[in-house]
């Protein structure tokens, strides 16, 4: 049995039968085993949109070659029953917990919110006009912020191949579509993520992981250079190792850690708004057609570099998705986007954000806590505009022309819009770069100027970063670790999960040395 790889191009509507026929032609084999290694959409020629495949073929008639074996992470039972408390159940926390449980540790996951079922119900009630849910919202609760998102699995992080394969394997075991292992731009969809989150909880519970829901870490107990417990509202959770993986919205947790001497610094981040359009318009701009059989809704990724050198870019584009009220705290206003796996909704939305160096903006050095204060004040400013969770919004044309007050088009946002002028809400130094970048986007996607913008979008990345030992990864205390988006060392599902795994490996190495 030999092995070889081939490139195949097929029309967008083609399925498995057409793929096998094409592989038979290029390989010259009638009997073979087929593995898709990569699949991507080539939409450069609007009249001829095709799937591009890279396939691995095993057959008796192929001479030589061996199928590649994906690299992944191995476990050694180094934990010997040592106790680990993991604060947060998002991607970083849940994969740290999984790796540590499989390595022989006793793991407890502390989550300030409830189970994903309770979280879904609380969000639904809020969007129907109910009270703001403080611990079960789009930021907090089982699964973290990524549970209610498009579930994109792309990552720009380098050197995480084994971690990525580990994450994808667990996702597929929890019910993710197998295509995530080979699609160029894989995604899960919020509907799949909700089910997967519950299944991952069940599988980890079977490994002995204890889940403590509605349990917020309020403090740590330290003795010298080590911590030995997390202090919660319902008691003390003893721990030989403590991992904080609570996402970038858990600002009071980071303030607590700073107060206990855990070092953080302010870092660059990005803010802006959500741009929303009819999905059919994006499809026409990208494909020259309202839809293409066999292909989900069109995506876009846009970047612009302004005259001042500042980058403006789209982020977390949600084809066929909706804009959601993603505030982490009552009295603040933040928007984000989500979409289901089918991506078949009426609207498309994406963050459009500008890079921000807060120290340059304020012309002074900042402590990490001051960066959190500044961002929270901005989020409260957006809420104060209408005194509610109605999202400030304006048309793209008005923002570009300097006008305001035009009627707003329909929106997917569930809690209504408030006509606004973002020149009065955004930091003044960001108005010109965002206007320049948005204008550039209009030149790249026909009809982009017909959309509207909703704000505030402030959760593309954390404004602070934990200072970690460069090799051992602990922060201040030799058995305390800060992981995931809130650490400032990752962004997005895959890179956050990978960071959680790297921290878990650091815990294993520390246990092996003990």
Residues 242-296: tens digit of each pLDDT? 999 999 999 999 999 999 999 999 999 999 999 999 999 999 999 999 999 889 9
Task: Specify whether 395 is located in the same domain as 500.
Answer: no
Q: What is the mean pLDDT of residues 355-378?
A: 97
Q: CATH number for the domain including 26?
A: 3.30.1660
Quick one: 302 and 256 in the same domain?
A: no
Alpha-carbon distance of 354 to 364, in angstroms, equals 20
Residue 36 and residue 101 in one domain: no
Q: Is residue 380 part of a domain?
A: no
Residue at a domain's end among 432, 457, 482: 457
User: Is 507 inside any structural domain?
Assistant: yes
Are both 115 and 212 inside the same structural domain? yes
Question: Is 39 in the same domain as 123?
Answer: no
Q: Are residues 183 and 111 in the same domain?
A: yes
User: Which pair of structure tokens corresponds to residue 94?
Assistant: 């849940």
192 and 136 within one domain: yes
Q: Is residue 365 one of the residues assigned to a domain?
A: no
Where residue 395 falls among pLDDT bands split at 50, 70, 90? Answer: very high
pLDDT, mean of residues 183-191: 96
Q: For residue 496, name the pLDDT band (cuts at 50, 70, 90).
A: very high
- Is 372 a domain residue? no
Buried b (16+ CB within 10 A) or exposed e, 37-75: eebebebeeeeebbbebbbbbbbeebeeeeeeeeeebeb
Confidence of residue 157 (pLDDT cuts 50, 70, 90): confident
Domain membership of residue 374 (yes or no) is no
CATH number of 188's domain: 3.50.50.60
Cα separation, 453 vs 468, in Å, equals 37
The reply to whether 67 falls in a domain is: no
Mark whether 103 and 244 lie in a shared domain: yes
Mean pLDDT confidence for 2-21: 95
- Let me know: does 415 contact 390? Beta carbons within 8 Å: yes
Q: What is the pLDDT of residue 452?
A: 98
Q: What is the pLDDT of residue 480?
A: 98
Q: Is residue 436 domain-shared with residue 486, that is, in the same domain?
A: no
Q: Is 299 found in the same domain as 331? A: yes
Split at pLDDT 50, 70, 90, the class of 24 is very high
Task: Count up the domains in the chain and report the number.
Answer: 3
Percent of the chain with pLDDT over 70: 100
Mean pLDDT of 199-207: 98
CA angle 321, 323, 328 (to 5 degrees): 130
* Confidence (pLDDT) at 275: 98
For residue 367, tell me if it sits in a domain.
no
Asked whether 271 and 430 are in contact (CB, 8 A), the reply is yes
Kindly state whether residue 332 falls inside one of the protein's structural domains. Answer: yes
Domain finish residue from 435, 457, 479: 457
Domain holding 446, by residue range, is 268-358+385-457
Does one domain contain both 117 and 260? yes
Residue 118 phi, psi (nearest 5): -65, -40
Please tell me whether residues 252 and 295 are part of one structural domain: no
């Amino acid at each position: 049995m030999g092995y070889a790889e081939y490139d195949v191009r097929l029309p967008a509507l083609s399925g498995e039968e057409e793929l096998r026929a094409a592989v038979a032609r290029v390989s010259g084999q009638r009997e073979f085993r087929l593995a898709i290694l990569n699949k991507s959409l080539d939409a450069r020629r609007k009249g001829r949109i095709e799937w591009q495949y890279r396939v691995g073929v095993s057959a008796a008639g192929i001479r030589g070659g061996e199928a590649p074996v994906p690299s992944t992470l191995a476990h050694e039972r180094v934990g010997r029953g040592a106790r680990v408390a993991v604060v947060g159940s998002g991607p970083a926390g849940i994969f740290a917990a999984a790796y540590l449980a499989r390595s022989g540790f006793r793991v407890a996951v502390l989550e300030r919110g409830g189970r994903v079922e309770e979280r879904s119900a609380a969000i639904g009630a809020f969007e129907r006009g109910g009270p703001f849910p403080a611990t079960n919202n789009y930021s907090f609760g089982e699964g973290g912020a990524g549970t209610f998102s498009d579930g994109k699995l792309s990552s720009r992080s380098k050197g995480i191949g084994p971690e990525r394969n580990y994450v994808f394997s667990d996702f597929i075991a929890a019910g993710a579509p197998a295509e995530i292992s080979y699609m160029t731009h894989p995604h899960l969809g919020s509907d799949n993520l909700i089910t997967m989150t519950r299944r991952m909880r069940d599988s980890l519970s079977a490994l002995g992981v204890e889940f403590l829901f509605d349990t917020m870490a309020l403090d740590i107990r330290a003795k010298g250079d080590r911590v030995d417990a997390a202090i919660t509202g319902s008691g003390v959770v003893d721990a030989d190792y403590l991992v904080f993986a609570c996402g970038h919205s858990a600002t009071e947790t980071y303030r607590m850690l700073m107060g206990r001497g855990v070092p953080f610094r302010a870092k660059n981040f990005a803010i802006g708004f959500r741009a929303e359009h009819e999905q059919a318009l994006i499809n026409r701009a990208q494909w020259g057609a309202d839809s293409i059989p066999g292909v989900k809704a069109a995506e876009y990724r846009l970047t612009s570099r302004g005259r001042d050198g500042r980058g403006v870019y789209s982020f977390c584009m949600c084809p066929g998705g909706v804009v959601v009220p993603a505030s982490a705290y009552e009295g603040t206003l933040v928007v984000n986007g989500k979409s289901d796996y089918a991506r078949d909704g009426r609207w498309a939305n994406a963050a459009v954000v500008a890079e921000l160096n807060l120290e340059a903006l304020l012309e002074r050095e900042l402590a990490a806590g001051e960066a959190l204060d500044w961002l929270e004040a901005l989020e409260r400013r957006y809420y104060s505009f209408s005194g509610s969770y109605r999202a400030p919004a304006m048309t793209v044309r008005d923002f570009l022309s300097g006008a305001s007050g035009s009627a707003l088009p329909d929106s997917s946002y569930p809690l209504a819009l408030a006509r606004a002028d973002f020149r009065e809400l955004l930091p003044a130094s960001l108005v010109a770069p965002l206007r320049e970048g948005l204008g550039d986007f209009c030149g790249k996607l026909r009809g982009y100027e017909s959309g509207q913008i909703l704000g505030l979008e402030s959760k593309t990345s954390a404004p602070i970063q934990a200072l970690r030992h460069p090799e051992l990864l602990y922060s201040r205390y030799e058995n305390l670790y800060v992981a995931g988006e809130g650490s400032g060392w990752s962004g997005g599902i895959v890179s956050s999960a990978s960071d959680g795994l790297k921290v878990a490996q650091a815990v294993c190495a520390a246990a092996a040395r003990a």
